[in-house]
């Protein structure tokens, strides 16, 4: 897969849509943080879902879209929520993102039955072994997506 020529980019906010649509030559790349566009209903069969219309609006933007995860870091011992990963993958595929990234960090700690949320991203011990373990925990998602994949350190 060859990379598109990337230029000036900006992180997507719905309030920027008039600029992105009205001056498409001004901004070349939009970084999408899909979790900011999700609704969460913890007791439903599908606890994460897109706000109505949000994915269609993103698809209509003329810029190249990159996808960056901000809610399910992959550097800890607790795997990301499988339903959230499926929605993250759907975002990448729907927007034909040439790049996707997630934080090589953790925000859950402790044994599975008493795990707690740390409230912010914490860096794991960074080593080749740790990165390999994070990639295994994250599962097949990077390989299943037709895009380049990057881990972002905290």
The third-level CATH classification (topology) of the domain covering 9-153 is TIM Barrel (3.20.20)
Q: How many other C-beta atoms lie within 10 A of the C-beta of residue 126?
A: 13
Polymer length of the chain: 154
Kindly report, residue by residue over 64-106, the tens digit of the pLDDT.
999 998 877 877 778 777 888 889 989 999 999 988 888 888 8
Q: How many other C-beta atoms lie within 10 A of the C-beta of residue 125?
A: 7
Q: Report whether 89 contacts 149 (CB < 8 A).
A: no
Q: What are phi and psi of 141, to 5 degrees?
A: -55, -50
Q: How many other C-beta atoms lie within 10 A of the C-beta of residue 49?
A: 15
pTM above 0.85, yes or no: no
pLDDT tens-place values along the chain, 154 residues long: 566 578 899 999 999 999 999 999 999 999 999 999 999 998 988 899 999 999 999 999 999 999 998 877 877 778 777 888 889 989 999 999 988 888 888 888 889 889 898 888 888 877 888 777 777 766 544 445 556 655 555 5
Domain positions in the chain: 9-153
Q: Which residues of 76-109 are buried (b: 16+ CB within 10 A; e: fewer)?
A: bebebeeebbebbbebbebbebbbbbbbbbbbbe
């Amino acid at each position: 897969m060859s990379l598109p020529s990337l230029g000036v980019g900006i992180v997507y906010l719905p309030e920027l849509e008039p600029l992105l649509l009205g001056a498409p030559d001004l901004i070349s790349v939009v970084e999408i943080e899909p979790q900011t566009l999700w609704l969460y209903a913890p007791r439903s069969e599908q606890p994460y879902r897109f706000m109505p219309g949000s994915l269609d609006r993103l698809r209509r933007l003329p810029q190249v879209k990159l996808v960056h995860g901000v809610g399910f870091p992959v550097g800890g011992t607790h795997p990301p929520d499988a339903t959230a990963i499926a929605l993250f993958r759907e975002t990448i595929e729907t927007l034909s993102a040439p790049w996707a990234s997630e934080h090589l960090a953790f925000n859950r700690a402790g044994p599975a039955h008493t795990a707690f949320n740390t409230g912010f991203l914490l860096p794991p011990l960074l080593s080749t072994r740790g990165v390999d373990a994070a990639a295994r925990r994250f599962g097949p998602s990077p390989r299943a997506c037709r895009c380049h994949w990057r881990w972002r350190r905290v």
